[in-house]
Structure formats: structure tokens, C-alpha cells
Amino acid sequence: MNASLDILPLSSWINTDGKPLVIAGPCSAETEEQMVESAVQIKNEGYAHVIRAGVWKPRTRPGSFEGMGEAALPWLQTVKKETGMPVAIEVANPNHIELALKYGVDILWVGARTTVNPFNVQELADALKGVDVPLLVKNPVNPDLQLWIGALERFNRAGVKKLGAIHRGFSNAQENKFRNSPMWPIAIELKTLFPQLPIIGDPSHMAGKRALLFELTQRAMDLNYDGLIIESHRDPDKAWSDAAQQLTPVALGEMLHELHVRKKSYGDEYQTQLEIIREKLDHLDRELLETLAARMSLVEKIAEYKRDNNVSAYQVDRFREILNTRAEWGNSLNLFPNLVDELFKLVHMESIRKQTEVMNQVSA
Ligand SMILES: O=C(O)C(=O)C[C@]1(C(=O)O)C=C[C@@H](O)C=C1
């Protein structure tokens, strides 16, 4: 894909002493007292760099608490005064941006339900022209990487260089363990395309419940995310929104303490050892591809034979047999069953594509 983003590194706009950025705070700003008390407790735990709060809440259905709106913004000024920490809120329209800037909000984020709509995103981007404020863009609710990239591009083209992405997971069509499925490969692909783009994990919205927070947070660290945005409330069970997924500031501190924060690399000796193993991997990958290419030429041979005899490309019985035997072989080699299953489904799809191409070739 031909795309590029001209962005500044995270460390140029916030100092985290080389640690992952931690943005913590209540789902919603409910009262000034709740906001300040939650923020002071978070500050006292010593792990967070930024206090978050929801001021305007996009809710699935009307009637639930939709945020305190502008009234909550002076409370965030009090939070800044009491803690000395920067504050971050979600914005969904140009008016939100204007108010956030008027009240000195330090970092903005765009929610998943906004990222999904390019008209909306463009309006926000236009409102941010000439404004020097860091902006984090949540993934769209649907698993569409292009839409996520499109939103990042719109902001970047409007001149937003202090830019990052928040991975909050994707809406589930069916019952799922997670409130929003992480679908990690989508975020990995984003990072692969834009290595300089900071990625912040949002385990709270992926999890939907406290019990799942740790595994998601650890996974984000294992994938070398640049930071975390986590909901924390002085009294989570009494929270006006997202009660089940919020942690007390102390519980959040305990959870972060348990976390293994991974490094990107580790010294010369480590690097030398790694290079030796990577060389072996290069060799094996090359062999893997040569084997695949040899397999494809046999598949092509079958295609010609099938074409001459007018036989269909797809052979269900043979494909089922392939899946079963390869699953057994994989099992005996200690390979993860999904890997073997998906690999052969992918290889088979390519066989079908190639065979239909060969079989439908108009002869010269
Ligand atoms: O065995 C065949 O008939 C093939 O064409 C090969 C192959 C394969 O890739 O292994 C491809 C398509 C069929 O559906 C089944 C198997």
C-alpha cells in the first residue's frame, strides 16, 4: 500500500522516561469531586502520565448517561491544578474541539464511532488545522484497517503531527468473550505499515470486564505497544458508565506492577545471538517458499489435466482429506492446530485461484 504519515515521535510531546505511556482515568467525568479524587488517587499511585475522562459519551441507545458536556471541562482544569498532570478527552465534533481547547485540554482522542465516518473525520481534521495538540485516533468499530488509516491520513494532512492510534478492539456481531474483539493482526498490520506511529492499547474497551484486563494489557506489552489507555474510577461499581470494566486506581497500580514490559531490543550480545538464529530462519523460510512454489507447479499440472478432461477445480473430498491429514501431521509436529488449518485453507484458495485461471485461459 502506498501511504505515509509525517508524524512526530511520542517522546517529542510527552515525557514517559522511556516507559509505555499510561493514560488513566474514569470512563466519564461525573462530578468535580469524583473527577478530582480519582485523578489524585491515580497520581499518588505514580504510574500514569495523563488523566483521561469522557465528557461527551456516544452511547448505543438514548437514555443512558451521555456525559456532563461542557460543565465537566472546568473540573478538568481543577484536575490539572491539583495533580499537575495533563488531561485527555474524546472529541466528536468541531464544537467539542473548540471547547476542549478553550478549557486547556492537553490531548484529544477521536472515538471508534467517529473514526468510522470520513465526513465526520474530515470536519474534525478541518477544525484542527493550525492547532498544535496531540491527537489519538481509535480504530473504527468495524474491522476495516483502511478506514483507520484513512482517518489518520485526514488528520495528518490537516497538519496534525502529534498523532497516535488507539487500538480499542472491534464490535462483535456474535456473542464473544470480549466486549470488542482485539483482532490483533489489524493493529500489527497498521504498525507494520507505519512503524513510526505510536500505538496505544485500550484493554478496557476490549475487555468490557475487569477479569480480562490483565491478559489484554500483557498482550499489548508483548506486542510492544507504545502505551495504554485504561479506565480507572475511585469507586468503579458506582460508576455512571462502564462500571464493569473500570478498576480502582490502586487495583490498576497492582495490575500494572504485575505486567512484564518488554524491550524492543537488548544489547550487542543479544543482537549477535539473535542474528545467528534469524539467519537460520531466513534459510528455512526460503525453503518453505521453494516448497510452496514446487507445490504450485504440481497444482498447475493438475489444472491442465482437469481442463483437458473438463473436471472442476474444487474437489471437496480431496480438500477435506488434506485438512484432516495435515491436522494430524501438524499435531505430531507440535504445531498449533489453527496455524496448520489456516495455512492449508490459504494454500488451497490459491490452488483454486490458479487452477481456474489456467482452466479458463483462452488458448492463443
Ligand atoms: O487434488 C486436486 O484435485 C487438486 O487440484 C489439488 C488441490 C490442492 O491444492 O491440494 C487443489 C484443489 C482441490 O480442491 C483439491 C486439492
Residue 267, pLDDT score = 86
Ligand 1 pocket member 356 (CB < 6 A): no
Residue 356 class from Cβ within 10 Å (0-12 exposed, 13-18 middle, 19+ buried)? middle
Tell how far CA 243 is from the center of its chain: 22
For residue 66, what is the domain's CATH number? Answer: 3.20.20.70
Verify that 17 and 141 share a domain, yes or no.
yes
364: in domain: no
CB 93 within 8 A of CB 123: yes
Verify that 271 and 251 share a domain, yes or no.
no
Nearest to 57 by CA among 45, 68, 43: 68
Residue 2, pLDDT score = 64
Top mutation candidate among 296, 299, 344, 349 for ligand 1, by most atoms within 8 Å of CB: 299
Ligand 1 pocket member 348 (CB < 6 A): yes
Distance 315 CA to ligand 1 centre (A): 6
Instruction: Supply 247's cell numbers.
Output: 478498576
This prediction has a pTM of 0.89
Kindly report each contact of residues 248-253 with a partner whose C-beta sits within 8 Å and lies 24 or more positions away, as own/partner.
Answer: 248/41, 249/24, 249/38, 249/41, 249/42, 249/44, 249/45, 250/41, 250/45, 251/210, 252/24, 252/42, 252/45, 252/47, 253/45, 253/46, 253/47
Residue 29, pLDDT score = 97
Domain range enclosing 37: 10-258
Instruction: Give dist(CA 218, CA 214) in Å, integer.
Output: 6
Distance 282 CA to ligand 1 centre (A): 28
Ligand 1 pocket member 359 (CB < 6 A): no
Question: Measuring from atom 16 of ligand 1, which residue has the nearest CA?
Answer: 319
Distance 299 CA to ligand 1 centre (A): 7
Verify that 252 and 286 share a domain, yes or no.
no
Domain end residue (candidates: 213, 239, 258): 258
Verify that 131 and 204 share a domain, yes or no.
yes
**Neighbour count for residue 283 (Cβ, 10 Å):** 10
Domain end residue (candidates: 236, 258, 280): 258
CB 98 within 8 A of CB 68: no
148: in domain: yes
Verify that 340 and 237 share a domain, yes or no.
no
Distance 317 CA to ligand 1 centre (A): 10
Question: Measuring from atom 3 of ligand 1, which residue has the nearest CA?
Answer: 315
118: in domain: yes
Find cell 475487569 and name the residue: 210
Nearest to 244 by CA among 10, 43, 27, 16: 27
Instruction: Supply 229's cell numbers.
Output: 489507555
Distance 313 CA to ligand 1 centre (A): 7
Verify that 59 and 202 share a domain, yes or no.
yes
Helical ranges in 15-72 per DSSP H: 32-45
Verify that 147 and 243 share a domain, yes or no.
yes
Distance 355 CA to ligand 1 centre (A): 9
Ligand 1 pocket member 351 (CB < 6 A): yes
Based on DSSP, count helices (H) and strands (E) in the chain, helices before strands.
13, 10
4: in domain: no
pLDDT in tens, 289-314: 999 999 999 999 999 999 999 999 99
Domain end residue (candidates: 204, 239, 258): 258
In terms of DSSP bridges, do strands 227-231 and 21-25 run parallel, antiparallel, or are they unpaired? parallel
pLDDT in tens, 50-65: 999 999 988 888 888 8
| Number of structural domains found in the chain | 2
Ligand 1 pocket member 314 (CB < 6 A): yes
Q: Mean pLDDT for each 10-residue chunk of the chain (364 residues)?
A: 87 95 97 98 97 92 90 98 98 98 98 97 98 98 98 98 98 92 97 96 97 97 96 96 94 96 86 95 98 98 96 96 98 98 98 96 68
For residue 325, what is the domain's CATH number? Answer: 1.20.59.10
Ligand 1 pocket member 315 (CB < 6 A): yes
Q: How far is CA 147 from CA 137, 138, 163, 333, in A?
A: 11, 11, 16, 39
Verify that 159 and 291 share a domain, yes or no.
no
Name the amino acid, one letter, at 152: L
Distance 319 CA to ligand 1 centre (A): 6
Ligand 1 pocket member 319 (CB < 6 A): yes
Ligand 1 pocket member 299 (CB < 6 A): yes
Residue 364, pLDDT score = 55
Top mutation candidate among 315, 320, 344, 350 for ligand 1, by most atoms within 8 Å of CB: 315
Verify that 160 and 307 share a domain, yes or no.
no
**ipTM beyond cut 0.95:** yes
Verify that 283 and 250 share a domain, yes or no.
no
Top mutation candidate among 295, 296, 298, 302 for ligand 1, by most atoms within 8 Å of CB: 302
CB 107 within 8 A of CB 93: no
Q: Please report the atom of ligand 1 found closest to the CA of residue 298.
A: 6
